[in-house]
Amino acid sequence: MEYGYCFWYEDGEMSSVPSQVKRLGLDYGEVSLTYPWPDMIPRSEMPITKRMLEKLGVRFAFHCPLEGLFLFNPRKEIADAAVNIHVKCLKFAAELDPLYYTFHIKADPMTLRIEGKDVGLQRCLNGLDKLVESAQELNIRLVVENSSGTAYLVPIRDLLRRELDFNLDIGHWFKGGRGYDELNHLMKDIGDRVVLLHLHDTKYQDTPAEDHLPLGQGDIDFARVFKILKGSGIQWINLETISSEQDVLPENLSKARKLASIMQDIKGCIPLRRVTIEEWKEVVVRRAKRSVGPIVR
């Protein structure tokens, strides 16, 4: 199991992030490519960043831009623009040999209420195929993340057929009004394809709900959650306690390690080494041939 934390442009130059990862006792940093990254990163900074990653023995992963990239949209121009930005970010990420690239499938709320919904879904699936193709060419593991309001948005069966894996953002899950029973059903469908956990607490019994809190400051019963996650394929836990200062990170990291031990009660349920891209592709192909469970909305 490897542990990471979120970083973005406000944390300083990208070349300084490896040192921050090492100082915080983490295995990797999940770097958000929200503007102005990667557009405004000088080319001269890339070799420095590479050398720091190698010297310190830490890794990068990448989170897609947080601006509204509407892969799910009936307008071809909008859906294509989202694909193009993702591909641009994937090409940038490939230069730094990332663990993964995680992204949301988003839509404007109006898109989901009009006659163009079916068209939007098809454009989204076409866009996903292009992202999968680009990720394969660049040897990057592509991981789709659930959003608070719409979960994974696309029918689960359509995601399982493609060579990508799942990021379960547990704070988003509960903020969106979903509970433990729904999580249990979800894991029965996709559990072995969940390779990444975004971990943060959420006050979902309040109005409005508040997420990205330190562990223990919200309403989530994490012991119950991690029991449900037994048997999953989680390899990475990224702490998204970004509503707090970094000085509380050591405490959250300690709690995360203890919680992860709940999943590891079952021998072999979590890989003890990082699965290679080639091994992962073989597993995805095998699983895609299986029948899949009910659609999770």
What are 113-143's pLDDT values in tens digits?
777 788 999 999 999 999 999 999 999 999 9
pLDDT at site 281: 54
pLDDT score, position 141: 97
Tell whether 294 is covered by a domain.
no
* Domain interval for residue 120: 2-288
pLDDT at residue 295 in the model: 35
CATH number at residue 128: 3.20.20.150
- For residue 89, what pLDDT is reported? 96
Domain membership flag for residue 296? no
Residue 297 is assigned to a structural domain of this protein? no
pLDDT at position 132 is 96
Examine residue 244 and state whether it is found in any structural domain, yes or no. yes
For residue 292, what are the CA distances in angstroms to 15, 152, 158, 203, 234? Answer: 43, 16, 10, 32, 20
Q: What are phi and psi of 211, to 5 degrees?
A: -120, -175
List the beta strands (DSSP E) in 64-164.
101-104, 142-145
**Which among 43, 16, 42 is positioned nearest to 31, based on CA atoms?**
16
The residue ranges of the chain whose pLDDT is under 70 are 243-246, 265-297
Taking the C-alpha atoms of residue 173 and residue 64, their distance in angstroms, rounded to an integer, is 19
Task: Please state whether the predicted TM-score (pTM) of the whole model is above 0.75.
Answer: yes
pLDDT at 140: 97
Specify the pLDDT at position 116.
72
Q: C-alpha dihedral over 104, 230, 193, 282, to 10 degrees?
A: 160
| Within-domain flag for 237 | yes
CA distances from 191 to 7, 151, 296 (A): 27, 15, 13
Cα 23 from Cα 119, distance rounded (Å): 48
User: Tokens in use for 102?
Assistant: 């995680």
Please report whether residue 293 resides in a domain: no
277 in a domain, yes or no? yes
What's the pLDDT at 282? Answer: 57
| 157 belongs to a structural domain | yes
Q: How many domains does the chain have?
A: 1
Per-residue pLDDT at 170:
96
